[in-house]
Structure 1
């Protein structure tokens, strides 16, 4: 008898429910993802986080499926990144900053659609923004902002359109990063 293997994922929707634009109610998103054949579907916050289990597919195929389903359901396109539990856990484990000593709002991860080379961010002089700092990870940027993201000049610099050309990038604070690991654990 073949045992069913379920992989748990987090879908990260970029730029929804911000300033009244691209409204995606979580109460509508959950059943949409369930109709796609997923189980253990949960949403977290209104900022576009949905976790689910699936017996087939991979990160890229689920991102495409969800992008299409959201466009069909809501009438607009949303960038979607999908990451599996193992990846999300590895991101937490590889954090170059002392996460346990920081408030969740001081540490962020910007998830990226692909791995950029270090040359992409070489022109950003992090020392000019000290004590703020950033590090490149696996398809992610770690960002330390002691006064929060809203006041960060470094975050503003890193978000420049030309710097991230060709990438989908979406950020989550450390509280959300760790919660997504928990929600995708399959327990």
Structure 2
């Protein structure tokens, strides 16, 4: 069995695609996934599976949710070593003291031709970013809510992405280690 981290995008946001974590856990158990841990209503799940392929497992989970709940969520699966590498490679270590300002955009694939000029044009004077393999790091000290860079990062990178702030990334690492609380 291997451990996987599921990063769901667009569930339980703005009253759309409502999927309580207890129901999601039940749906995943029906797929023979084991040791399922969820975090509040966040759409973050850690579980064990005998599956070897992220692509086939993603398709299986998305299809099951669509069949049970009538919508197909975007889902990105990563392995614990990818999460650890993202944390270790964080280029803005000083920003962890204010974790809500530091965001990790996990990317489905490394961007092959990111539009750097558009990223630069969207960036505010206080923002910093870096692309490293499958992660786009964004430090937005003035907040993420009004950040044009955060809003347009996926488009300018040219790949599917889902973002988590540093506090959530830490929580996921804790869940993988087995000492995170379950929601």
CA contact (8 A) 1:126 1:132 kept: no
**What corresponds to 2:135 in structure 1?**
140
Q: Alpha-carbon deviation of 1:145? A: 0.6
Deviations for 1:77-114, whole angstroms, at most 9, x for unmatched residues? 11110001111111101111115643110100111111
**What corresponds to 2:171 in structure 1?**
179
- Give the direction of change, closer, same or farther, for the CA distance of 1:176–1:99 in structure 2 (3 Å limit): farther
Q: Pick from 6, 12, 16: which aligns with 1:11?
A: 6
- The residue correspondences of 1:86-125 to structure 2 (distance < 5 A) are 86-99=81-94, 101-117=96-112, 119-123=113-117, 124-125=119-120
RMSD (CA atoms) = 2.0
Per mean C-alpha deviation after superposition, the further-off stretch among 85-94 and 99-108 is 99-108
Matched, 1:27 2:22: yes
* Gap runs ≥5 in structure 1: 1-5
Q: Helix, strand or coil for the counterpart of 1:150?
A: coil
Q: TM-score, normalised by structure 1?
A: 0.86
User: 1:68, 1:99 → 2: CA distance?
Assistant: 40
Runs of 4+ residues deviating >6 angstroms:
none
* Gap runs ≥5 in structure 2: none
